[in-house]
Amino acid sequence: MSGIDRERIKEIVLKSPGITTEELRQQLGVVNGTVIRTVKEIDDIEAVKTSKGYRFFPKVSDN
């Protein structure tokens, strides 16, 4: 339902591992809840909750 481009999110997170919700939101031009909800649905990205909010990292494969 959201109009966020998942491929664009993956690109941004790969270029900037550890990006915060606010930084990602600014780059995408969307509201916080939408970013967090969408990123949690993307298998290749890990959302890590910190005391200051979420940070997003590419998932590392064990292979």
Q: 31-50, pLDDT tens digit by residue?
A: 767 888 888 899 999 999 99
Long-range contacts at 9-15 (CB < 8 A, ≥ 24 apart) = 9/35, 9/38, 9/39, 9/42, 9/45, 10/42, 10/44, 10/45, 10/58, 13/39, 13/45, 13/56, 13/57, 13/58, 14/58
Give the per-residue pLDDT at 20. Answer: 94
Can you tell me the mean pLDDT for 5-23? 93
Which runs of E-coded beta strand occur in 1-63? 19-20, 45-50, 53-58
Q: What percent of the chain has pLDDT over 90?
A: 51
Q: DSSP label at 38?
A: H
pTM of the model: 0.81
Give the mean pLDDT of the chain: 87
